[in-house]
Amino acid sequence: MSYPDIPRNSLSDWRQLAHGMWPSKPTFKEDRYPSLEGKVVIVTGGNTGLGYETVKSLAGSTKARIYIFSRNKEKTLNAIDDLKLEVQKEYSVKNREIGFVQVDLSDLTSIKPAVEEFLKKEDRLDIIIHNAGVMMPPQGSKSKQGYEIQIGTNVLGHHLLQRLLDPIFIKTSETNPKGLSRIVWLSSTYHMFAPRGGIFWEDINFEKVPKFNNLTKTQLYGQSKAANLIQARTWSRKHDYPNVISSSICPGYLNTDLQRHASALERYVYQYVLWPKRMGAYTELYAALSPDVKDGDHSISFGTPAKGREDLLSDEVGDKVWTWLDKETDPYV
């Protein structure tokens, strides 16, 4: 029984944490997006929060074919109806089509059927935004396969999804100009509170930590977000396709449903201190579309270059996490 070793944060780590409270204004907005005519984009968790705003901004200002990958059919179809109305109102674009593919990222058996369904509809894939996520759910929440729910959903679910989409994504990238094909991994500045090296290998689910309190909760969420940052950096090292940009972001500190498991008092305070969710969409779309973003970058609110915590950046750390992710997802490929 022991606690994870959390490295002491450097001054620049703390500056980054503070930046989320006082972020820079977004400069990469709709007027700078490429047309994306004939291109295909997937946004996971696009039915609410940042994903919803990302889909809306893309749908209103580009010609991309957009797919929301999410778990709740009724909620997502209602969200698509709302998106259509808002896209017409805000961008004067009528009857914008938005696709839906059902997937539960916390159940590894649901991911292959979702990709098969997508492949029946499309024969190309240009941009993937791994946006869906869970934060600090009740202690002991598990994925279908028994992983702690945040690592199960945020990390393993997206790892398997990306693996299964790799063939179509890579094939498309070979015909695209350099830098158009992109993968965006939603990390968080909370990765600063992750265990050294990202994952607490001796107890990944934090089941044996002596006391589970707010600090360990933050570390457990941070662990999943550190792994997302590592996935972004490692994808390109494991796949030698130079046209692709794989990068991570912290979208900012935004008022969304992510805080759904917080107390009523916390949520009351958050609405006054967190930023509007549209701002976080600009961070996502900066990573997905801006010519300033390079492979392996990490960007923060609302389109500012930054750096991940130092101990997470080595190839050795990336290899260890990647090997584990591949091993755990092998049975579902």
Size of the site for ligand NAP (CB under 6 A): 30
Closest separation in Å from C-beta 143 to ligand NAP: 8
Angstrom distance (rounded) from CA 34 to CA 285: 11
Q: What's the token pair of residue 295?
A: 């492979």
Q: Which residues pair with 184 in a beta bridge?
A: 129, 247
Angstrom distance (rounded) from CA 28 to CA 37: 19
Residue 240's contacts (CB-CB under 8 Å, 6 or more residues apart) are: none
Among 13, 104, 166, 295, binds ligand NAP (CB under 6 A): 104
Instruction: Give whichever of 216 and 248 is closer to ligand NAP, judged by the CB atom.
Output: 248
Catalytic residue (one of 33, 225, 277, 301)? 225
Closest separation in Å from C-beta 71 to ligand NAP: 4
CB 300 within 8 A of CB 306: yes
Instruction: Give whichever of 117 and 319 is closer to ligand NAP, judged by the CB atom.
Output: 117
Q: For ligand NAP, which stretch binds (CB under 6 A), given 6-14, 24-32, 102-110, 210-218? A: 102-110
Angstrom distance (rounded) from CA 245 to CA 173: 10
> Residues 34 to 53: which contact ligand NAP by CB under 6 A?
45, 47-51
Among 132, 164, 168, 194, binds ligand NAP (CB under 6 A): 132
Instruction: Give whichever of 173 and 283 is closer to ligand NAP, judged by the CB atom.
Output: 283
Strands (E), the chain: 40-44, 65-70, 99-102, 127-130, 182-186, 245-249, 298-300, 304-306
Catalytic residue (one of 106, 181, 187, 246)? 187
Angstrom distance (rounded) from CA 305 to CA 320: 26
Catalytic residue (one of 221, 253, 282, 286)? 221
Q: For ligand NAP, which stretch binds (CB under 6 A), given 57-65, 117-125, 129-137, 306-314? A: 129-137
Per-residue exposure over 149-176, b if at least 16 CB sit within 10 Å of its own CB, e if not = bbbbbbbbbbbbbbbbbbebbbebbeeb
> Catalytic: 61?
no
Amino acid occupying residue 132: A
Draw the binding track, 52-71, toward ligand NAP (x: CB under 6 A; -: no contact).
------------------xx
Among 62, 131, 162, 299, binds ligand NAP (CB under 6 A): 131
> Catalytic: 190?
no
H-helix segments, 128-275: 149-150, 158-173, 214-238, 264-273
Angstrom distance (rounded) from CA 105 to CA 231: 16
> Catalytic: 173?
no
CB 23 within 8 A of CB 301: yes
Q: For ligand NAP, which stretch binds (CB under 6 A), given 22-30, 87-95, 127-135, 305-313? A: 127-135
Q: Does 151 interact with ligand NAP (rule: CB under 6 A)?
A: no
Among 106, 173, 216, 329, binds ligand NAP (CB under 6 A): 106
Closest separation in Å from C-beta 172 to ligand NAP: 23
Closest separation in Å from C-beta 195 to ligand NAP: 17
Exposed/middle/buried for residue 36 (C-beta within 10 Å: 0-12, 13-18, 19+): buried
Among 16, 61, 153, 223, binds ligand NAP (CB under 6 A): 153
Q: Annotated active-site positions, please? A: 187, 221, 225
Residues that bind ligand NAP (CB under 6 A): 45, 47-51, 70-72, 75, 103-106, 131-135, 153-154, 186, 188, 250-251, 253-254, 256-258
